[in-house]
Amino acid sequence: MEQRQFLLSQNDIPQEWYNVAADLGEPPPPPLHPATQQPCGPEDLAPVFPMAILEQEMSAQRWIKIPDAVMEKLALWRPSPLYRARDLEKALGTPAKIYYKYEGTSPAGSHKLNTAIPQAYYNKIEGTKRIATETGAGQWGSALSIACNFFGIGCTVYMVKCSFYQKPYRKSMMQTFGAEVFPSPSEKTEFGKQILAKDPECPGSLGIAISEALEDTVHHDDVKYSLGSVLNHVILHQTVIGLESKKQMEMAGDYPDVVIGCVGGGSNFGGIVMPFMADKFAGKNVRAVAVEPKACPTITSGAYKYDFGDTASMTPLLKMHTLGADFVPPAIHAGGLRYHGMAPLVSLLVDKGMIDAVALDQLDVFNAAVLFARTEGIIPAPESSHAVCEAINEANRAKQEGKETVILFNLSGHGFLDLGAYDAYFADKLASTAQAEG
Ligand X SMILES: *Cc1c(COP(=O)(O)O)cnc(C)c1O
Give which of 5, 84, 8 is closest to 240, Cα–Cα.
8
CB 421 within 8 A of CB 415: yes
Work out whether 297 is an interface residue with ligand X (CB under 6 A): no
**Of 239, 267, 298, 362, which lies in the binding site for ligand X, with binding defined by CB under 6 A?**
267
> Interaction with ligand X in 74-93: which residues (CB under 6 A)?
none
Q: Does residue 377 come out as left (phi exceeding 0), alpha (psi in the -120 to 50 range) or beta?
A: left
If the CB atoms of residues 298 and 311 are measured against ligand X, the closer one turns out to be 298
> Interaction with ligand X in 121-140: which residues (CB under 6 A)?
139-140
Work out whether 262 is an interface residue with ligand X (CB under 6 A): yes
If the CB atoms of residues 241 and 252 are measured against ligand X, the closer one turns out to be 241
Type and span of the H or E element at 145? helix 139-151
Give the shortest CB-283-to-ligand X separation in angstroms: 28
If the CB atoms of residues 44 and 383 are measured against ligand X, the closer one turns out to be 383
DSSP-derived secondary structure letter, 295: T
If the CB atoms of residues 82 and 252 are measured against ligand X, the closer one turns out to be 82
Work out whether 341 is an interface residue with ligand X (CB under 6 A): no
Rounded distance, CA 322 to CA 199, Å? 24
Work out whether 412 is an interface residue with ligand X (CB under 6 A): yes
Strand-pairing partners, residue 438, are: none
Work out whether 244 is an interface residue with ligand X (CB under 6 A): no
**Of 119, 156, 211, 229, which lies in the binding site for ligand X, with binding defined by CB under 6 A?**
229
Q: Write the binding mask 175 to 214 for ligand X: x where contact by CB under 6 A, - elsewhere.
A: ----------------------------------------
Q: Look at the chain and count its residues.
A: 438
The CA distances from residue 365 to 8, 155, 305, 362, 387, in Å, are: 30, 33, 29, 5, 9
Give which of 91, 85, 20, 90 is closest to 407, Cα–Cα.
85
If the CB atoms of residues 219 and 416 are measured against ligand X, the closer one turns out to be 416
If the CB atoms of residues 252 and 336 are measured against ligand X, the closer one turns out to be 336
Give which of 82, 14, 39, 94 is closest to 316, Cα–Cα.
39
Work out whether 413 is an interface residue with ligand X (CB under 6 A): yes
Alpha helices per DSSP H over 219-329: 232-252, 267-281, 298-301
Work out whether 268 is an interface residue with ligand X (CB under 6 A): yes
CB 395 within 8 A of CB 98: yes
Rounded distance, CA 235 to CA 243, Å? 12
Work out whether 265 is an interface residue with ligand X (CB under 6 A): yes
Q: Which stretch binds ligand X (CB under 6 A): 6-14, 22-30, 88-96, 261-269?
A: 261-269
If the CB atoms of residues 132 and 144 are measured against ligand X, the closer one turns out to be 144
Give the shortest CB-261-to-ligand X separation in angstroms: 7
Strands 16-18 and 63-65: antiparallel
Give which of 23, 1, 12 is closest to 274, Cα–Cα.
23
Q: Which stretch binds ligand X (CB under 6 A): 120-128, 179-187, 243-251, 256-264?
A: 256-264
Work out whether 167 is an interface residue with ligand X (CB under 6 A): no
Give the shortest CB-227-to-ligand X separation in angstroms: 10
Rounded distance, CA 415 to CA 404, Å? 30
> Interaction with ligand X in 361-400: which residues (CB under 6 A)?
381, 383-384
Give the shortest CB-345-to-ligand X separation in angstroms: 12
Binding site for ligand X (CB under 6 A): 110, 112, 139-140, 229, 262-269, 336-337, 381, 383-384, 412-413
